[in-house]
Amino acid sequence: MRTQNGESVLARAVRIFEAFTPEESALTVSEISRRTGLHVATASRLVAELVSYGFLTRDDDRRVRIGMRLWELATRASPTLSLRNAAMPFMEGVHDVVGHHVQLGVLDGDEALFLERLTAPEAVINYTRIAGRLPLHASSSGLVLLAHGPADLRERVLEGPLPRYTPDTPATAARLRAVLAEIRRQGYAYCPGYVHPDALGVAAPVRDARGEVVAALAVIVPNEAGASSVVPVVRTAARGVSRALGAPGALGAPDVPGRGREPGDPRDGRATGG
């Protein structure tokens, strides 16, 4: 069904959902109207209908929030849920070793979307959050996903604007091409100060049963000497997640302590990180 201006009711509902942010998760109908550009009467009617289906919910003060029904439908058959579940034990192991941010990102459009993030009170600055996004060309997770993504996506990103967040951001096509080639060659991304001068990201690809890269597992640590010690930790964990997903080449007998593990394996009590 379409409205008189040609916009579908579904498109208007999407605009309402997108009005909510992590910082402002509860809105009045008037605020929704202003953010979406919908007439307040139209916004009120659509909000009431979405509340009746459980997609939105009303607080006692009449503010509106995203409802549990939307979460239920999103997770019922979501492939990202099984990916997150497979990754969590390895992410927790990395977090125990490194003590800083550990995150799992997937490709969504021209951005990296983060499914999970583990952090610590004294961890280095990090702009990501669960369900947050970062550009592909600047983040360690995004660069891994871009390096292993479709060729047409790479060309589109290379041809488009490449915002520079710090002096070290790969913000030219030539520099970005070189970075992507290096990631494919060495098997991981090492990104000192790409998004923030004080932070360094290390990310490695996670593959599924078809051998395709479906995610990137990353850590964000202080941008200082010795940070490279986390590389084997991240790579080993990413291969562990891939093995859990049935990736070819990642299959094999269960790890035996002291054998078949890289230095820095997060499940090995001798592991070290920085």
List pLDDT tens digits, range 193-248. 999 999 999 999 999 999 999 999 999 999 997 889 999 999 999 999 999 999 98
- The percent of residues above 90 in pLDDT, for the chain, comes to 72
Q: How confident is the model at residue 128 (pLDDT cuts 50, 70, 90)?
A: confident
Mean pLDDT in residue range 160-188: 96
84 contact partners, CB below 8 Å, separation of at least 6? 104, 115, 116
In a domain, 170, yes or no: yes
Residue 82 CA: distances (Å) to CA of 16, 77, 86, 144, 149: 28, 9, 6, 21, 21
Predicted structure pTM score: 0.75
Residue 28 CA: distances (Å) to CA of 11, 19, 21, 78, 154: 20, 11, 13, 30, 41
> Do 60 and 86 reside in the same domain of the chain?
no
Mean pLDDT in residue range 20-27: 89
Specify the pLDDT at position 169: 96
The rounded distance, in Å, linking the Cα atoms of 56 and 91 is 32
Specify the pLDDT at position 70: 87
- pLDDT(272) > 50: no
Specify the pLDDT at position 126: 67
- pLDDT(265) > 70: no
> Do 63 and 102 reside in the same domain of the chain?
no
> Do 193 and 216 reside in the same domain of the chain?
yes
Q: Domain count for the chain, please give it.
A: 2
In a domain, 202, yes or no: yes
The mean predicted confidence, pLDDT, of the chain is 87
> Do 218 and 167 reside in the same domain of the chain?
yes
In a domain, 272, yes or no: no
Q: How many CA atoms lie within 13 A of 239 on its CB side?
A: 19
88 φψ region: left (φ > 0), alpha (ψ -120 to 50), beta (else) = alpha
Instruction: Note the pLDDT tens digit of each residue in 63-84.
Output: 999 999 988 887 777 778 889 9
> Do 106 and 195 reside in the same domain of the chain?
yes
> Do 90 and 216 reside in the same domain of the chain?
yes
Mean pLDDT in residue range 86-92: 96
Domain that includes residue 59, residue range = 9-68
- pLDDT(4) > 80: no
> Do 171 and 119 reside in the same domain of the chain?
yes
